[in-house]
Amino acid sequence: MSFFLFANFLSFGQSSFDNFFKPSDTLNVTRKKTVLITEGVTLGGALIGLNQLWYKDYPKSNFHTINDNNQWLQLDKVGHFYSTYHVGKIGADVLAWSGALKKEQLLYGATVGFGFLTVVEIFDGYSQEWGFSWGDMLANASGTGLYVGQELLWHEQRITPKFSFHQTHFAQNRPETLGNSFNEQLLKDYNGQTYWLSFNLYSFTHSKVLPKWLNVALGYGGTGMIYGSNSEAFENGISQSPSREFYLSLDVDLTKIETKSHFLKTIFSAFNTIKVPAPTLQIGDFNGVKGHFVYF
């Protein structure tokens, strides 16, 4: 008897836990307030922390702009595009969880990434080390636009920006900029970063032959970069030959994996930001065509 009571209690606990992650069918005022307060505290804290841990170590200046569109083979711009898309998606998803109207999800949720990175860009504008970049702003707007545009056009996300990374030997040549540890290199070493646009085949074709989770991904990366541009490298006595790299690969849309668990759906959505390692075809400026059995 006690076993069945325990089993029923455990089942009830699991059900309650899973229901917490289930989006509300109607507006849940408590959830919405929680979302707005949490977003405000998290983003505000992130900006304060960024200002204290990063910008305070560099001299201030009058607000100014820079043209850095020729830096790092534009991979920094693609990073902005990727970031605003996913921060905006999170903003829209948590409002959907609260039961907010679709209009509110797109107007106030999907634009969170753009707003956050705009403030960061203003910080750059007052820093002598950097400057406000219109190229960054265009990338930020493009990331937000990709999410909002797909929701308005298809009412679903058929194209998802994704990210993958592998360590390179270039970081050891300039660790203060490209990173010392794996975690630093993950964020700083553009040579090891690859950004993808992952297309869900079923969403475009509705073919019953194709698994709903199967994607084809187009990737972009670069290599041979120690400095952001060749002229900067030359000024520092370095000769470099940056090369663009393009990729074609298979991928998995984790959000299309069928499950009744709302907790798992949340986990799948979080990890859908990362490209699944898979066989890949690489086309480079100097290296021609190369195949990878598994590419990270």
Report the C-alpha gap between 161 and 217 in whole angstroms.
9
- Tokens representing 74 are 């534009």
CB neighbour burial string for 48-68, b if at least 16 within 10 angstroms, e if fewer: eeeeeeebeeeeeeeeeeeeb
Q: Is the pLDDT of residue 118 over 90?
A: yes
The 10s digit of each residue's pLDDT in 151-203 is 999 999 999 999 999 999 999 999 999 999 999 999 999 999 999 999 999 99
The 10s digit of each residue's pLDDT in 239-250 is 999 999 999 999
- Better pLDDT: 50 or 239: 239
* pTM score: 0.91
pLDDT at 53: 66
User: What does the pLDDT average to over 112-141?
Assistant: 93
pLDDT at 12: 45
Which residue do the tokens 């100014």 mark? Answer: 64
Q: Is the pLDDT of residue 231 over 90?
A: yes
Q: Is the pLDDT of residue 4 over 70?
A: no
